[in-house]
Structure 1
């Protein structure tokens, strides 16, 4: 890591990243979970001064259901970086994705800029994840990791220098709570979504 770690959250007009997203949805009424795969492309547009004068970048998000399909604009988010934090505004909700300077095990409230319940995010260096060999200097941000006999909630993002987000895992599951199956790990409802980088560059 160099300096404060700003290169883990690059913001520049024309930058793009493409992801493959694999999603599994569980429903108590269906014995077989529903599995879907789709693709996401994020493109950084021309920067603009926000309401507080901070330079912000629109993030144009395109989706498609198959590799051969055409991209369709899905939404526009916003991203910006200031000396002590990196922020993404997702569906009008601001999240502090990184807090600078980045140090191993450092923590911050990812919801400090929104009205949600505080959540402690934590940096972890050298944490293993898929495609580790492609991004050897990556770091993980553990946003949530709660588990019990009745539920599991796990949310982790992985960032690589000069690239940004390369992997995300978001899992929220409710296990069977009936007397005959509690503690068995049988999933009643929930969703697991894995986002993995497939391509990146600059237009």
Structure 2
């Protein structure tokens, strides 16, 4: 079933490097933020639906601040799908067993509108910085590009680690020049895990 692409183990810890850029058309500014996120799986419990679920505590670290608590995330696997509750919204992150061109609605259990997720790569090696990962799965979560807007969301999962890359680009563009006027983009990438 390839559940090991979405491992849930108490005590697991994953650290990500994050590079984020925010475009503001109010004052024509572009601001870059560099920080780290750390996800620690702290415990498992039975959720309101009667399923085994795992509590993940997310911490953030910047150049000027040490690790500080940011939020709680809940993850679980229910037969053929991996779910994540983030900011009070439930998402379907993966389906099992994943196959090339598997498709599903990642927003099936929330009110954000249908997002047709699709498996683009499966069991593919990937190198991230000094980390050589032998098997990864790439998910295109959403991809809509036109003359005035770009919304591109992609995630990559690795066996026995889980999420290793998340890329988001959500920007408005000047229709005449194609220059970004507002919005944001960020890349969250594996730094270390244990």
TM range (shorter): over 0.9
Take 1:151 and 1:112, find their aligned partners in 2: how far apart are those partners? 24
Q: Which runs of 5+ in 2 are unaligned?
A: none
Take 1:158 and 1:112, find their aligned partners in 2: how far apart are those partners? 20
Q: Which runs of 5+ in 1 are unaligned?
A: none
SS at match of 1:7: helix
2:118 equivalent in structure 1 = 122
Closer/same/farther in 2, CA of residues 106 and 139 from structure 1, 3 Å limit: same
8 A Cα contact 2:127 2:133, kept in partner: no
Larger Rg: 1
1:33 equivalent in structure 2 = 30
8 A Cα contact 2:58 2:73, kept in partner: yes
Aligned length: 192
Give 1:32 shift.
4.7
Q: Normalising by structure 1, what TM-score?
A: 0.89
SS at match of 1:33: strand
1:93 equivalent in structure 2 = 89
SS at match of 2:167: strand
RMSD: 1.9
Take 2:49 and 2:149, find their aligned partners in 1: how far apart are those partners? 40
1:154 equivalent in structure 2 = 152
Q: Normalising by structure 2, what TM-score?
A: 0.92
Is the aligned partner of 1:194 residue 2:187?
A: yes
